[in-house]
Amino acid sequence: MFATCFTSSTATLHCFRRFLRNIGAICAFAFGGTVVSTAAVGLIMWAAGEMGLSYGLTFIQALVFGSIISTTDTVRQQDTLNTHQLQCV
């Protein structure tokens, strides 16, 4: 995603500065969202296993599964931005 941003024709110095100015919020939402999603998916999978609705996983296994499922697909994000022709304003 970062390489695409730096090599795209719409990337400007202004956009890069704005990105750096907002890096704290970007990281907070990225890490925070991933942690919340990991916990939610892990707890749901663990509870479903305990109730016999899915394959029984230990709590740690369910959290690992949640962390794998919760990762962000940066290629898809860039494709969405390119598809809708969104630019840094």
Split at pLDDT 50, 70, 90, the class of 73 is low
Distance CA 63, CA 87 (A): 36
What local confidence, expressed as pLDDT, does residue 44 receive? 94
Helices (H) and strands (E) in the chain, counts: 5, 0
- Eight-state DSSP code of residue 54: S
Distance CA 65, CA 38 (A): 8
The string of pLDDT tens digits covering residues 1-40 is 555 555 555 556 667 777 788 888 888 888 888 888 899 9
CB count within 10 Å of CB 27 equals 10
Split at pLDDT 50, 70, 90, the class of 48 is very high
Distance CA 69, CA 40 (A): 11
User: What's the token pair of residue 44?
Assistant: 């749901």
